[in-house]
Amino acid sequence: MTVALTAEGLHTYYGKSHILHGVSLEAAEGQVTALLGRNGAGKTTTLRSLMGLTPPRDGRVSTFGTDITRWPPFRVASLGVGYVPEGRKIFSNLTVGENLLVPLERPGPWSPESIYRLFPGLAERRLNRGRQLSGGEQEMLAIARALLLNPKLLILDEPSQGLAPLITREVFRIVAKMREQGISVLLVEQNVRMSLEIADHAYVLDDGHIVYSGPARELAADEARVQSLAGASAEEWNPAS
């Protein structure tokens, strides 16, 4: 089994706050790996550590066999690691089409044309500005932007956050499709049940420690554990908007 990404013993701090306490994980090539855990567990910090946005003080990160520990984010991206941050971070004053001109381009099948075929809704909104899009459309645009990098590994931070159930399904369908296309996926989610439906492997992070690692199917069958994870999350939360 080839490994898309390996993290070993990450210790990450914000100033003096010690957030990650030796986090180790692996994302297998061609699989969806879910990283779950309650709010504040350190999921986003883990992704930021992997991407070089908040470099770990201790520990190693490698992707497809290259050691990328403490590399700046643009260099990590240039190896084919696409990152869709929490909260989407699209440019609200640029149009959809302009947002898609921003990313670093790497050769491969994904181009604005193939993106518009995958997301017909975005094609219709091509001339609309980011701020005019619905939450679901913004998420699709954020994913589309990461795809233009033609990533070998796609890292997603809570793509379903704040989306209505139907749109959430659509986002998960896209994630499954990425795997079909041979892209490895590392998925951080609060929607525990849906994540476990599509993931191959799952990790649970709690208070900066990995407390579970195993097949997603196995975790899904542990109803008590799923309950406690899902109950502690915003899974049921849907904004009125």
Ligand X SMILES: Nc1ncnc2c1ncn2[C@@H]1O[C@H](COP(=O)(O)OP(=O)(O)O)[C@@H](O)[C@H]1O
User: Of 20 and 115, which has the nearer Cβ to ligand X?
Assistant: 20
Class of residue 98 by CB neighbours under 10 A (exposed 0-12, middle 13-18, buried 19+): middle
User: Of 167 and 234, which has the nearer Cβ to Mg ion?
Assistant: 234
Instruction: Please state the closest distance from residue 142 (CB atom) to Mg ion, in A.
Output: 15
44 near Mg ion, judged by CB under 5 A? yes
User: Of 137 and 189, which has the nearer Cβ to ligand X?
Assistant: 189
User: Of 123 and 226, which has the nearer Cβ to ligand X?
Assistant: 226
Neighbouring C-beta atoms of residue 177, cutoff 10 Å: 11
Instruction: Quote the CA–CA distance of 13 and 15 in Å, as a whole number.
Output: 6
- Residue 19 partner contact from ligand X, Mg ion, none using kind-dependent CB cut-offs of 5 to 8 Å: ligand X
152 near ligand X, judged by CB under 6 A? no
Tell me which of 19, 51, 100, 194 binds ligand X, using CB under 6 A.
19
Q: Interface mask (CB under 5 A) for Mg ion, residues 67-96, using x and -? A: -------------------x----------
**What stretches of the chain show up as alpha helix (H) in DSSP?**
43-51, 73-78, 96-99, 112-118, 120-124, 135-147, 165-180, 192-198, 216-220, 223-231
Instruction: Please state the closest distance from residue 86 (CB atom) to Mg ion, in A.
Output: 5
Q: Which amino acid is at 232?
A: A
Contact 189, 198 (CB under 8 A): no
**How many whole angstroms from its chain centre is CA 180?**
17
Collapse the DSSP code of 240 into the 3-class scheme (helix H, G, I; strand E, B; otherwise coil) and give the result: coil
45 near ligand X, judged by CB under 6 A? yes
Interacting residue ranges for ligand X, rule: CB under 6 A: 14, 17, 19, 37, 39-45
